[in-house]
Structure 1
Amino acid sequence: MSVAQTEVTLDEFDALEAAAPENLHVELINGRILVTPAPDGDHDENVMSVADQLRAREPQLRVYQERGLAVPSYRAGRARVDGAVAPVGYFRGQPSWADSSGVLMVIEVTSGREADADVDRIEKRDAYAQAALPVYLLIDRHRGEAIVHWDPEGGRYLHECRAAFGAKLELPEPFGFALDTTELA
C-alpha cells in the first residue's frame, strides 16, 4: 500500500516544530517533515574540529552550531544545520529561522543512525544547492569520509571533493585551505 505524501505549509511546520520535544530536531526539507534525534557528543566534536580549524585561518568567520536556516528553493524549507559558517555578527537580530543568503558554508554530520544518513547525503545536499548555499561540507561518520560540495548552479552542486578520515580535504574558496580530518575518525 502506498501512502500519498502531502506538502506541509510553513504554518503547519511552525506548530509541529514548536510542539516537538527538545531531544528531537524537526526540519522541513523539500516539502517533507524530517524528524531526527538531537546530536550526540561525537557529532558535536566533529563540528568543533572544523570550527577550530576554520577560526584559526579565518578569524572574521564563525561556525554557528544548530542554527535554524530558511532554505528557500522551489519549496520553502527550514533546516537546522549542524554548522553555519558566516561572518561574525551575521545572525545578530535574525529570527530563529534565519536568512541563509549570507551563509558561506553549511556543515552537516551524519547522525548516529545509518538509516538517517541519506537525508544528509542527498536530500539536504540538494536543498542547499537549490538554495544556492555556496559550500556544503558533509562529515559522513558511516562511510568514514568528509565530502565538500561547491559551486551551486541549476539546483545542484557542480563540484565535489572527498577525503577519507585522516587525510586532508581541500576546501574551495573563499576558504582555500586543507581541512585536517584526523580528529573526525
Structure 2
Amino acid sequence: MGVVEKHASVLSQEQFEELARLAVRVEEALRLEFINGKIGEKALPDGDHGRIIQWLTRLCIQANADWWLHGDQGLRVETYRNGNARPDVCLAPSDNFVGQGEWADADGVLMAVEVTSRDHDTNRRDRVEKPKAYAETGIPVYLLIDRDTCEVKVHSQPDGGRYEMLLTVPFGKTVTLPDPVGIDLDTEPLKDWVH
C-alpha cells in the first residue's frame, strides 16, 4: 500500500488540492482526482484518445454553436465529501466556467465524457466511480466511450445516487444522446481509433 492510499481517508479537500498542485509540478503525465473520499490517478491520453475528443467536439459544436467541450476542467462532484473529478471533457455552454477556478461547480454541465485509457484504474474509475459521482452531482448525461469493449455507454436520468438509464451500443451503430444534449452520434468512426 502506497503512502497516498494509506492516508487517502484522512485527507481534507484542501490537502487534496495542494497535493494535486504538487503532482502537476512533479509529473506532467499524471492527473489526480478525489472521488468518494479516495485519491485516484489518471494517465494522460494518447493520440487515438485525442482524435476521439476532436470528433466529438465537432459534432457538439455543429449541434449548438453556443456549446463547448471543455477539456481538463476540474469539477466538484458528489454531495458527500466534496469530491473532485476531471472528466476528459464536459459539454457546457461556452461561458459556463468563466470566473471559476481549477475545480468548478458542475452547474450548467450537460454531459460529462470519458474515453477509456489503457491503465490499471480504468474499470474502477470510468465504469464504477465516475458514473456514481456524476449522477450524485446531477449531470444529466454521462457518455463513456469504451475503447476496451468497443462500445458507447450512455448514462442518463440521474436520480441523485445513480443513473436510472444505461444504453450500450457497439461502435458502428448510431446512438441518440438524450436531452438536454439531443445529438445523434454515428459511432462508425470510433472503430478506427481503438488501437
What TM-score, normalized by structure 1, do the two folds share?
A: 0.93
Q: State the shift of 1:7 in Å.
A: 4.2
| Residue-by-residue CA offset, 1:69-96 (whole Å, 9 max, x unaligned) | 1113222111111011001211111111
Given candidates 128, 134, 139, the residue that maps to 1:128 is: 134
Runs of 4+ aligned structure 1 residues displaced above 3 Å come to none
Given candidates 16, 19, 22, the residue that maps to 1:19 is: 22
Given candidates 129, 134, 142, the residue that maps to 2:148 is: 142
Q: Distance in 2 between the 1:117 and 1:51 partners?
A: 24
Distance 1:116 1:7, change over 3 A: farther
Distance 1:16 1:78, change over 3 A: same
Contact 1:7 1:32 in 2 (8 A): no
Q: Which has the higher helix share?
A: 2
Contact 2:36 2:78 in 1 (8 A): no
Unaligned runs of 5+ in 2: none
Tell me if 1:83 matches 2:95. Answer: no
Q: Distance in 1 between the 2:178 and 2:133 partners?
A: 20
Tell me if 1:182 matches 2:188. Answer: yes
Number of residue pairs matched? 184
What TM-score, normalized by structure 2, do the two folds share?
A: 0.88
Q: State the shift of 1:116 in Å.
A: 2.3
Contact 2:8 2:37 in 1 (8 A): no
Q: What amino acid is aligned across from residue 124 of structure 1 in structure 2?
A: K
Contact 1:28 1:78 in 2 (8 A): yes
Percent of paired sites with the same residue: 40
Alignment of structure 1 residues 21-40 onto 2, 5 Å: 21-40=27-46
